[in-house]
A and B are shown apart, each in its own frame.
Chain A
Amino acid sequence: MATLSTDLTETSDTPWGRSRVLTVLLAVAFALILAKAVGILPEWLNRIPEAAIPPTAQVLDAVFSFIQNDLGLIYVTRFIAEGPLEFLLDTSANLLEGKRRWPYLGPIPWSAIAAVAGVVGYAVGGWRLAALGAGTFIWTAAIGQWKIAMQTMSVIVVAAPLAFLLGLALGIAAWKYGWFERMLKPILSVLQTLPFFTYLLPAVIFFKVGPTAGAVATITFAIPPMILMTTLGLKKVSPEVIEAGQMSGCTRWQMLRHVYVPAARTEILVGVNQVIMLCLAMVVLTAFIGMPGLGAKLLAMMGSFKLGRSFEIGVTIVLLAVTLDRMSKAWVVKQPVHFERGTPWWKRYKISLVALGLFIGFILLSQLFPILAEVGRKQHLSQGKEIDVVIKSFLAIEAIKETTEWLRWFLNVKVLIPFRDTLLAIPTPAFILIVVAFAYWIGGRRPGIYAAVFFTIVAFSGWWDRSVITLYTVISAVALATLIGIPLGVIAARSERWSKSILLACDTAQTFPSFIYLIPAIMLFGVNDVAVVFSILIFAAVPLIRYTIIGLSSVPSEMTEAADMSGSTRRQKLMSVQFPLALPTMAVGFNQAIMFAFFMVIIAAFIGTQDLGQELQRTLAGTELGKNFVLGLNVSLMALTFDMAISSWTEQRKKRLGLD
């Protein structure tokens, strides 16, 4: 039965009534603002005085130093860094890029790796993935980026399996022990909103500069989704499969090894996919702590405004990302197929044999033809300079130049700067009250209380103005992304063909390491605030478009049919049936957009911002772990406030609409 009621009556969950609380909160905030405008607000109510701010960073520094030196954690971490981890990284670096370390075998010829990638692609997803796999590596070699790409890959091939194993183990523990899961959950939410700079500095301090620190930061960054997916998968194993295992007389270990983990295969492999993608995203970012590789090269090229080379490196990173993503996703859906009885062994292992044959074959061939082993300096096909000229002359075309310059002027002078100044002018307590009112209005009492606590902590951290600037950037970018993304999604959702291709484009865009989004921003707008907002905007628009399409197209067809039969116009149908039902899903996209924006705004420190990210980037040069943590936590707390409010709204709404 398709009941068409999407107007929900407000139910108040407090005796006080929601609207009254809101009125009081906003009235106080407004009174404070007014008082400031008239000039009667005492300064201690405008900003928290320096004297009242606790020395959190110093205290944290003392605590870290105690753990690090007095408790001797540094020896443990240094041992891991210089022992097993460095050994693994050296081995992979030797094999892939030819670093002079044990086992002194590498570098493996690029042609052999491309051939194996092609066969693996074929095994998991047919000819198209074979072409993608082989093509990516051929491109990388041909364009002359093999060595730096392999520097990046050599960290991924160590970090991804370790993150997988650790995530799997922690996920199993969280599933097995309720107390462990309860303890882990808040830590994971903080970890997932913590800016990546906060992963980098501790890694450098505890694990020695270079690949080891990069690997540690990457592993930490990639673990959370693996834990969540493992726990989810194990919880979803059908009770009958579990009972079948018990009735077969499995011991606890056998249950885990032969029943639970294989039955949760799909979720665990989805976790693997996420681990790989996060590893790639983070490895590129480790450029900020001086890790060589694609990220460092991109950073250098963009820094010197060499757009052609930046573009080429960008393409390499994107190709690698798409290849890794598509292959690991194809592996998720690939189901085993039986062989007829009596199939000879070489037929059963045909694909592995072909891969091995090609691998050895290309190694031998590359002895004869050195170009198959390594594409030399003068041999590669890079057109960096030419592309650079093309891009720059394109941007110099009068019409385009005028458009971008006008946009830059308009956004900066008319929108961004006034908005920023307004936000900065609001007294701290009024600002907190407005945020609390927002969280309370959207999510209810709990998110409201959390918002109050979190923002008060931010206010007392001593970085209020920079936090407000961070927030301003995020809000402007997400607002612009919403203005562009939602209409785009609505239009795309009208036709199935369009939704499909745009969804595919969004899915692909989401696999790109966030760093990539800086390239077009810098190309179009140069190095300034507009470029920052623009890079965040395109990054955040992706989930908005994606979830708008998903939300609209998942409205049950009997509902839209009922609306059609009631004689509603397309607009009426959209406004009173499709939007209300799609809103919870669209809110998920909105939430993701905000989280993405908080992530991106920190990366944009590279372009030059005056927010928390800039301060964070500065800490990387030193050893101010305490300050780094305080700054990172500020970002995390602000992001969590929004996350909690929106998620709680989505959940309540879904419950009341009777969805899932």
Chain B
Amino acid sequence: MLNYIIRRIFYAIPILIGVNLITFTLFFVVNTPDDMARMHLGTKRVTPEAITKWKQERGYDKPLVFNTTEEGARKFIQTIFFEKSAAMFAFNFGRADDGRDISHEIKTRMLPSLAIALPVFFLGLVIHITFALVMVFFRATYIDFWGVVFCVALMSISSLFYIIGGQFLISKLWHLVPVSGFSDGLDAGKFLVLPVIIGVISGAGASTRWYRTIFLEEMGKDYVRTARAKGLPETLVLFRHVLRNALIPILTGAVVVIPLLFLGSLIAESFFGIPGLGSYTIDAINSQDFAVVRAMVFLGSFLYIIGLILTDISYTLVDPRIRLE
């Protein structure tokens, strides 16, 4: 298994280079370094000298990918692409355009993102699986039918609606929790209740239906019929046999997202004033901060690859028949 993991990590390098190249190309097709300088320096009284100076200081005065004025390997090394990409593979993300250290920002913003994402993920997993099992238990009854209708309704509503509606009802009308904000320590609890509830509810429709489908597929298998034939109660059949066997597809969807939880949510963090990485990414896109956008895309790709490797490993844990070679 170790060999497999090492091999997968090496496979990740060309993928990360590719992702980096695509991000670089897309970003610089839309923005030139001059645009970035203007965006940063503002619109009033910006002189060409100030733009040149800004670019020089941040290394944006070099050619993008090929430097015709240099010799040999320096034709590739003395470029914006190489200089901005090479350090990232050592997880040195450099500085944002406003001068702040990106690694420091990522470290401090990761926790607020996790403070929402983890409870949403784990609570969501438990609640959605429970609902799915209830629906499967009462399959072909009105509970199952209306459960599916309810799930489809939940899926059809935009996540923004849940946020605005939740803030309106729970915070504005009922005055139960703050509308938005964040705090460190135990005080954070009151700010997390609403985003967590909304996160769990907004994801309920799709997840519950997906888990229900998986459970129903398992219910039709021979071992379930055998279990019933042995006279096992339906609850035992569901929780001991069906749930365990349905774990593999559930793990596929769940484990892969665990590392991505660090990256936070783009919309929810903005609306709830959570100073997480989702909000950081949105700010960087709006202010055309290439250094931050590139770092966040790189980190996202890296964590996704880690997620895939973790998924593979988790297969071996839940299904002894699977071996990684």
User: Are A and B interaction partners?
Assistant: no
A interface vs B, CB < 8 Å?
Answer: none
